[in-house]
Amino acid sequence: MSRIAARFAHLKRERRGALIPFLEAWDPDGPTSTALLRGMPGAGADLIEIGMPFTDPMADGPIVQAAGKRALDAGVKMTDVLGMVRDFRAGDDATPIVLMGYLNPILSYGPERFCQDAAKAGVDGLIVVDLPTEEADMLLPFVTANGLDFIRLVAPTTDDARLSHVLSGSSGFVYYVAITGITGTRSASSDDLAEAIPRVRRATDLPVAIGFGVRTPAQAADAVRIADAAVVGSALLDTLAANLDEHGRARPGAVDKVLDQVRALAEGIRNAKVAA
């Protein structure tokens, strides 16, 4: 059983949803980002999503764009992203790690070699934003061959006819993009989610995570009442950005401030017991 499946099975027994915090690799630099990653499980992260910086993140709003730019300015390479995961795995063999990013850096690295190296480093799943099902054959064979989970995005625009097509070949969990929009901009209403998530559930037995617009412990709790996991990204990046000095370096205590926020989100989720 993959780490992701094992973690969701465990959470199901505990009858609670998962918190999936997001961090951008090397935002604002390698050591800060590594410290943040190492601290996340202790603060209540059930799975962790790491953003792979890209110059042209088309689905991301200003907050993730700025985080990616800080990381690229710090000189991050794809090998460094994998290095962070390898470092993390030395101390934690249970918390699943999902890499999220765009296709071109993976193509440039070599899709097969990337999947091999990611699996070796201890990565559990991949989310590639600009690789829809129609183009998935460029990567999927290598993902599968290396035992990685291929996590698909499902959007409000994905109609029922398309859902089964989109979910073919997906594993790990399904990432429901809660809004038609970019990251860090607005949030879905509970009514929208109450309509959308059962529709996704009818098409898959995989756990469903809700992302885009989940910022507060209350929103995270709402998300796991109806789905299985909440992804929180921009809200955490905002906190980190607010704790950088004028040169873009992390002020003392910056990592702790973000981890405190992770703790509060985890608490929100633990208080929202999943209905039987």
Can you give the binding site for other proteins, defined by CB under 8 A?
A: 54-59, 61, 65, 72, 77-78, 102-109, 129-135, 138, 152-159, 162, 166, 177, 180-182, 185
Minimum distance between the CB of residue 50 and other proteins, rounded to whole angstroms?
16
Minimum distance between the CB of residue 23 and other proteins, rounded to whole angstroms?
19
User: 49 an active-site residue?
Assistant: yes
Given the residues 24, 60, 124, 149, the one annotated as active site: 60
Region of 122 please: left (phi>0), alpha (psi -120 to 50) or beta.
left
Minimum distance between the CB of residue 212 and other proteins, rounded to whole angstroms?
9
Between 38 and 77, name the residue whose CB sits nearer to other proteins.
77
Between 110 and 253, name the residue whose CB sits nearer to other proteins.
110
Provide the token pair at 15: 């009858």
**CA angle, 269 then 123 then 219, to 5°:** 20
Q: Which residues pair with 268 in a beta bridge?
A: none
Strands of the sheet containing 229-232, edge to edge, are 149-150, 125-128, 97-101, 48-51, 18-24, 229-232, 208-211, 174-177, 152-154
122/94 Cα distance (integer angstroms): 10
Provide the token pair at 53: 């910086």
Minimum distance between the CB of residue 81 and other proteins, rounded to whole angstroms?
10
Question: Under a CB-based contact definition with an 8 Å cutoff, are residues 72 and 55 in contact?
Answer: yes
User: 267 an active-site residue?
Assistant: no
Given the residues 24, 27, 46, 49, the one annotated as active site: 49
Between 21 and 156, name the residue whose CB sits nearer to other proteins.
156
Between 115 and 254, name the residue whose CB sits nearer to other proteins.
115
Preceding peptide of 28 cis, ω within 30°: yes
Q: Give catalytic residue positions.
A: 49, 60
